[in-house]
Structure 1
Amino acid sequence: METTRLRLRQLTPDDLEHLVALHGDPEVMAFITGAGETREIVETRSLPDLLSRRTWLLFEAETFLGWASLRLEGDEAELGYRLIRAAWGRGYASEVARALVDLGFRQLGLARIWGQTMAVNLGSRRVMEKAGLTYVRTFHLAWDDPLPGAEQGEVEYALLRADWR
Structure 2
Amino acid sequence: MPAFLESERLVLRPVTASDLDDLVALDADPEVMRYLNGGRPTTRESVRRRVLPRLLHEYPCLGTPGFWAAEPRGGGTFLGWFELRPLDDDSPAEVELGYRLNRASWNRGYATEGARALLRKAFTELGVERVTANTMAVNARSRRVLEKAGLLFVRSFTEEWPDRIDGSEHGDVEYALSRGEWLRRHGG
TM-score strictly above 0.5 = yes
| Residue 129 (1) aligns with residue 141 (2) | no
Instruction: For structure 1, list consecutive stretches of 5 or more residues without a partner in the other structure.
Output: none
Instruction: Name the structure 2 match of 1:88.
Output: 106
Instruction: Name the structure 1 match of 2:49.
Output: 44
Counterpart amino acid of 1:57? A
- TM superposition shift of 1:54: 1.7
Cα RMSD of the aligned pairs, angstroms, is 1.1
Instruction: Indicate if the aligned counterparts of 1:6 and 1:58 stay in contact, CA closer than 8 A.
Output: yes
Alignment of 1:40-79 (within 5 A): 40-52=45-57, 53-60=65-72, 61-73=75-87, 74=91, 75-79=93-97
- TM superposition shift of 1:143: 2.2
| Secondary structure in structure 2 of the residue aligned to 1:30 | helix
Structure 1, residues 41-91: CA drift from partner, whole Å, max 9, x if none? 111111111122421111112221110011113211000100000111110
Runs of 4+ with deviation above 4 angstroms: none
Instruction: For structure 2, list consecutive stretches of 5 or more residues without a partner in the other structure.
Output: 58-64
Counterpart amino acid of 2:21? E
Structure 1 window deviating more from structure 2 (88-97 vs 36-45): it is: 36-45
Q: How far apart, CA to CA, are the structure 2 residues paired with 1:11 and 1:96?
A: 15
Instruction: Name the structure 2 match of 1:4.
Output: 8
Q: How far apart, CA to CA, are the structure 2 residues paired with 1:155 and 1:103?
A: 24
2:17 is aligned, of 8, 13, 21, to 13
Structure 1 window deviating more from structure 2 (106-115 vs 53-62): it is: 53-62
Q: How far apart, CA to CA, are the structure 1 residues paired with 2:170 and 2:161?
A: 13
| Secondary structure in structure 2 of the residue aligned to 1:40 | helix
Counterpart amino acid of 1:37? T
Counterpart amino acid of 2:49? T
Q: Which has the larger radius of gyration?
A: 2
Counterpart amino acid of 1:102? R
1:139 is aligned, of 157, 169, 175, to 157
| Secondary structure in structure 1 of the residue aligned to 2:174 | strand
Counterpart amino acid of 1:43? R
Instruction: Indicate if the aligned counterparts of 1:27 and 1:36 stay in contact, CA closer than 8 A.
Output: no
Q: What is the number of equivalent residue pairs in this alignment?
A: 165
